[in-house]
Amino acid sequence: GDSVTQMEGPVTLSEEAFLTINCTYTATGYPSLFWYVQYPGEGLQLLLKATKADDKGSNKGFEATYRKETTSFHLEKGSVQVSDSAVYFCALTLTNDYKLSFGAGTTVTVRA
List, in order, residues 6 or more apart from 2 with CB less than 8 Å away.
Answer: 25, 26, 27, 28, 31, 92, 94, 101
Give least dist CB 16 to other proteins, A. Answer: 28
Helical residues (DSSP H) of the chain, grouped into ranges = none
Distance CA 6, CA 73 (A): 9
Give least dist CB 49 to other proteins, A. Answer: 8
Identity of the residue, 38 or 72, whose beta carbon is nearer to other proteins in the bound complex? 38
Identity of the residue, 19 or 33, whose beta carbon is nearer to other proteins in the bound complex? 33
| Residues at the contact surface with other proteins, assessed by CB under 8 A | 4, 32, 36, 41-46, 49, 51, 89, 91, 93, 95-105
